[in-house]
Chain A
Amino acid sequence: MSLLAANNLSLSFGGVHAVEDVSFSVNKGEVFSIIGPNGAGKTTLFNLISRIYDASTGSIRFNEQDISQVPTHRIAELGIARTFQNTELFEQETVLRNLLIGQHVHRRTNLLQEFLFLPSVRQQELRFRKDVEDVIDLLDLQHYRHQVIANLPYGVRKMVEVARALCLKPRLLLLDEPSSGLNPEETEDLSFQIEDINEELGTTIIMVEHDMNLVSRTSTRVMALADGKLIAVGSPVEIQQHPEVLKAYLGE
């Protein structure tokens, strides 16, 4: 069954057609990878799904609901979480607080209760913390819990961002180049963690990724984009041998 369906999405910046008439759908439980040369429009597509940009034409349905007009901050509540290509963490905060911010959509207390730190607020904080610790265990971030983001190495920041997205308990997780800047060992770990997230938590994943090794190991299906246009969708093997895809990567 399809969880996310994009129909004829287009967006241009000035004269640049960043995304042009792209349609695809992602099934529940899939790991769906998007590949394509730099500038192909992959990040723009993510920004369209997470409603940071408005599509000029086309529509997006998530979970049987049209989300093309939903305000940006409501996307998280609907169950879509994302990471950013160059990491967008809360730099001056600790890892723990970053992850707690990921729990924001689950809060049930109001301002007055929070000002007075009523027992209901304490209960909620303890519940948040327990959920955060589960994510910390899943992604092996125990050592960094109380460290400020600005002092962390790049690989750890990447994982913290994934962890923060998981704290939303999303149904759909968007990962924008999760392995960029990671060393081979970290990339290896990442592939297992993606499997864990997908299988243990049952989260559907859409991933923009350049590392074909990682893509083949984790993905159910792959979609190739070039110059904003969809070239092909298929299994990892099919896509790697697809003549149009090879042409897009290698040129004429």
Chain B
Amino acid sequence: MRRDRLTFGMILGIPLMQILLFGYAINTDVRNLTAAVADEAGTHRSRQFVAELRETQVVRIAQRVETAGQLEELLRAGRISVGIHIPPDFDRRVIDAQRAAAHLLIDGSDPTIIGIVNALKNMPVSFDTTAQPDRMPAIEVRTYYNPEARTPVNVIPGLIGVILTMTMLLFTAVAVVRERERGNLELLINTPVTSAELMIGKVIPYVVIGLLQLAVALLVGYLLFDVPVRGSIVELYVAASLFIVANLSLGLFVSTAVSTQFQAMQMTFFLLLPSILLSGFIFPFDGMPKFAQYLGEILPITHFVRLARGIMLREADLTAMTGALVYLGVFTLVTVTAASLRFSKRLD
């Protein structure tokens, strides 16, 4: 064991860390969905209604806007998961059994949100008196972007992120370590090749592979599961390229931290699990405790899942999601720098 301390650490450390991390972090009982309110009524009753919604703790009201249109914009940009729209005639609607009093606009591109908000719909509110047995629900839910709530539509954008993370990370990390094991690297670093050239030479073929994988995933998603790309496919490719490069640079960094292919693989899986669990791909981001959200924010895939869902399902523009793009760029820069610093043209 002294010979391979890293492997030993991984054998014990990884499961321990992951069970602790995910045991605390994963919570399917989602609270605090980011929400915005457009209270066009502005009456005492409407304010009380909003307060009751907030008390359920299912939504966290982050913003107030004027119109339903503004709610839709926030939804499209991925800034909120739920929009609460209270029409101007709210007070009259409350007593009208034929009309819904308020609307919840929800982002159907995130699978878990649908179920949760459906629960909200049936919550008892003060004005919903039992005196009206055949009243239609006071709150009407409008699901945007995936109104039929089809699972593939929700899952495939995130799945693309997971597939790209796995292959890109594994490819680079293992390829570089294999070259070191085979001695290729010892030969190469004795030539005038610079570290940057070496790394770029390694990375470019994999960018092409990653983009091909994306094409295959999109095509299969479209043909078999009818998953749309509502936004611009060019923008999707731009986002994916940035995401691929971010993963490749992370792979390079991993390759400088491990010494065997086996360790490279373990490290990849170590990074893959949080990528699946903390990225919002399966479990809703809003449902995680703060520290897990911070961890999730570090992972490139979290940002890519947002970008992919935005472009593919919500027809969002990249310009509305510059934060995610900038983060991927910064992440790449940081990891590439760290990798080059560690990857000196030396063996010791």
Asked if A and B bind, the verdict is: no
Chain A residues close to B by CB (< 8 Å): none
Chain B residues close to A by CB (< 8 Å): none
